[in-house]
Amino acid sequence: MTEWVTEQGIGETREVLFEGDHVLAARLRWPGELTAGSIHDAKLTSKASGKNRGKVTLSGGQEALVDHLPRAATEGLSGKVRITRSPIAERGRLKLAQARWINGDATQETGAPTSKPMRAFDTGQWEEVWHAASSGSIAFSGGEILCAVTPGMTVIDIDGNLPPRELALAAVPAIAKALIWFDLGGNIGIDFPTLEAKADRRAVDEALAKALLEWPHERTAMNGFGFVQIVARLEGPSLLHRFATSRTGMCARYAVRVAERTEGTGPVLLLTVHPALKAKLKPEWVEELSKRTGRQVRIETNPALALEAPSAQIMQA
């Protein structure tokens, strides 16, 4: 039986789809973000003549691109919108949220399955996904896949020492895992090894179709250069996007999680992080960490630590 489970962290909400103890999928949300499916009061601030698209300002002050506007809509019109895609940060710019103008009843429809709250995931479950997304890689027998975010698409490359056909087929399960683990969507390009024989390309296409049978998407057949393009619904930033645009923010939240899960006896919790993370540790996070652990929290820095490798321990003083 599969089940979505939520861990309400400090500074973020983590969701994992489990099948037994096995992690099938993961999602991550930060407080204050516009999420797909949420309903907001909005005012139309701009609209091109004759178009059903424009820009709105939400009640919270955020801007969003909107479609499905009424034919007679004019600037200044007030109403409700449903968010269809969260804002996505890219290097040097922010892609505004996308929304749909609502006519009639406005009900909250996130499209996300019901998730059961849990105090904390078992050790290693979230860490495995987090570190894979941090490195942008997943290993498999004979090679690894390497994932990178670009302004145009997320690209997945395959590296290894197997013959091209065997390497391409061996990479398929890891690719399927990455797509769902990292909550990927939008345009995704997969650069397989070049396969000259049509029969080999067909075999990889069939393996990929089987692996992604239950994941909604559209996909091209592999071309002569080994490239496959996938288009899937995009509702917000993937884990890869978050690392690409806010690595220190991701690592600061992870450091707090490591500290919260640290066991031992003593009144002081010492969290040691890379100096770049200290400024990212918001005072309200540290205060919440102290409340949850019942300990005084002390923050120290060590430039020898990697951003992704915080250290926490319980001390007597």
Q: What average pLDDT does this structure show over 251-262?
A: 97
pLDDT tens-place string over residues 154-212: 999 999 999 999 999 999 999 999 999 999 999 999 999 999 999 999 999 999 999 99
Residues 203 and 259 in one domain: no
Answer yes or no: is 307 within a domain: yes
Q: Residues 218, 146: one domain?
A: yes
- Domain match, 90 and 144 both: no
List, as one string, the DSSP characters of 164-214.
HHHHHHHHHHHHHHHHHHTT--EEEEEEPPP--SHHHHHHHHHHHHHHTTT
Q: Are 23 and 16 in contact (CB under 8 A)?
A: yes
167, 202, 232: which is the final residue of a domain?
A: 232
Distance CA 222, CA 229 (A): 8
pLDDT at 131 over 70: yes
- For 95-105, write each residue's pLDDT tens digit: 899 999 997 65
> Where residue 118 falls among pLDDT bands split at 50, 70, 90?
confident
Confidence (pTM): 0.89
Rounded mean pLDDT of the chain? 93
Residue 108, pLDDT > 70, answer no
**Is 144 found in the same domain as 224?**
yes
Q: What pLDDT, on a 0 to 100 scale, did the predictor assign at position 103?
A: 72
Q: Do residues 283 and 217 share a domain?
A: no
User: Of the candidates 278, 273, 280, which has an alpha carbon nearest to the alpha carbon of residue 302?
Assistant: 273
Concatenated DSSP letters of 61-100: S-EEEEE---TT--TT-EEEEEEEE--EEETTEEEPEEEE
User: Does residue 111 sit within a domain?
Assistant: no
Structural domain of 201: 136-232
pLDDT at residue 151, as a whole number: 84
Tell whether 153 and 226 lie within a shared domain. yes
46 lies in a domain? yes
> How far separated are the first and last CA of the chain, in Å rounded?
46
Q: Provide the pLDDT for residue 109.
A: 56
Are both 208 and 149 inside the same structural domain? Answer: yes
| Domain contains 25 | no
The CA distance from 257 to 277, in Å, is: 14
From 200, 232, 264, the end of a domain falls on 232
Measured at the alpha carbon of residue 204, what is the angle toward residues 198 and 210, in degrees to the nearest 5?
Answer: 135
Flag whether 23 is in a domain. Answer: no
Q: How far apart are CA 80 and CA 41, in angstroms?
A: 5
Q: pLDDT (tens digit, 9 = 90+) per residue, 17-32?
A: 998 888 999 999 999 8
Q: What is the pLDDT of residue 116?
A: 85
Say if residue 82 is in the same domain as residue 48: yes
Is 61 within the bounds of a domain?
yes
In a domain, 146, yes or no: yes
**Cα 254-255-261 angle, rounded to 5 deg:** 90
Q: What is the tally of structural domains in the chain?
A: 3
User: From CA 97, how far away is CA 211, in angstroms rounded?
Assistant: 31
Note whether 91 and 46 are same-domain residues: yes
Is the domain of 186 the same as that of 273? no
Residue 266 placed within a domain:
yes
> Same domain for 305 and 277?
yes
In 3D space, the residue among 230, 189, 237, 280 whose CA is nearest the CA of residue 91 turns out to be: 237
Residue 108: partners with Cβ closer than 8 Å, 6 or more residues away: 37, 38, 39
Share of the chain above pLDDT 70, in %: 97
**Measured on CA atoms in the order 126, 127, 130, 136, is the torsion positive or negative?**
negative
The pLDDT of residue 3 is above 80: yes
The closest alpha carbon to 305, from 264, 261, 267, 258, belongs to 258
- Where among 179, 199, 232 does a domain terminate? 232
Helix ranges (H only) for the chain are 125-135, 164-181, 198-211, 239-245, 247-260, 275-278, 283-293
What percent of the chain is modeled with pLDDT above 90?
81
Mean pLDDT of 52-80: 92
- CATH number, domain containing residue 77: 2.40.50.110
pLDDT at 106: 57
51: pLDDT confidence band, cut at 50, 70 and 90? confident
CATH number at residue 197: 3.30.1710
Q: For the residues 292-306, what does the mean pLDDT come to?
A: 97
